[in-house]
Amino acid sequence: MRYLCALVITFICFCSSARAGEEYARCLDLNYQTDTGLLKCAEDETARLLSELDKRYDIIANHKFFRPWNDDIHSFANLKNAWLKYRNDYCNLLGYSQIHAGNNIGYLTEARCKLQETERFRAELEALVKNYQSTFKPKIYNGQKL
């Protein structure tokens, strides 16, 4: 029964993520002719992904397996803040370089960069979870599912 519940939850998450991806694609289709529309699409999708990451971070940070690392000097909050600073600074520099190279869509470049970096970080976070799950079977540690 637990496996069936896990399968249903996974399916719901996949459908939710697929639906969100479809919404982003639809936004791009509707706004491909305007820079401000494209910018809004990228910013909205990035905000949605960051919200997803926050929820995932909370689950991981409070998981018994990761709690000793999180409670030590290393914390998921510090890790996330450092990553956000890196992402924002890097993407800002990328946008800045586009503008000063004569490309007037630097702000779109910056927004797209933030979206891509957020997608990459989400994939890395999921890889961390999958590494844990493949190492500790069953996929439960001290009664907590990750």
Which residue would you say has higher pLDDT here, 70 or 2?
Answer: 70
- Give the residue-averaged pLDDT of 73-95: 90
At 54 the three-state DSSP class reads helix
Residue 140 has pLDDT above 70, yes or no: no
At 32 the three-state DSSP class reads coil
Quickly state the pLDDT bin for 69 (edges 50, 70, 90).
confident
User: What is the overall mean pLDDT for the chain?
Assistant: 78
Q: What is the pLDDT of residue 63?
A: 83
- Give the residue-averaged pLDDT of 75-84: 89
Q: What is the pLDDT of residue 4?
A: 32
Non-local CB neighbours of 17 within 8 Å, separated by 6+ positions: none
Classify residue 126 as exposed, middle or buried by CB count within 10 Å of its CB (0-12, 13-18, 19+): exposed
Range of the domain at 34: 2-145
List C-alpha distances in Å: 87 to 11, 12, 27, 108, 143.
30, 30, 24, 15, 35
- Give the residue-averaged pLDDT of 85-104: 88
Total domains present in the chain: 1
Q: pLDDT tens digits for 3-40? A: 333 333 333 444 445 556 788 788 777 766 777 888 88
**Percent of the chain scoring above 70 in pLDDT:** 76
Residue 103 has pLDDT above 80, yes or no: no
Q: What is the pLDDT of residue 120?
A: 95
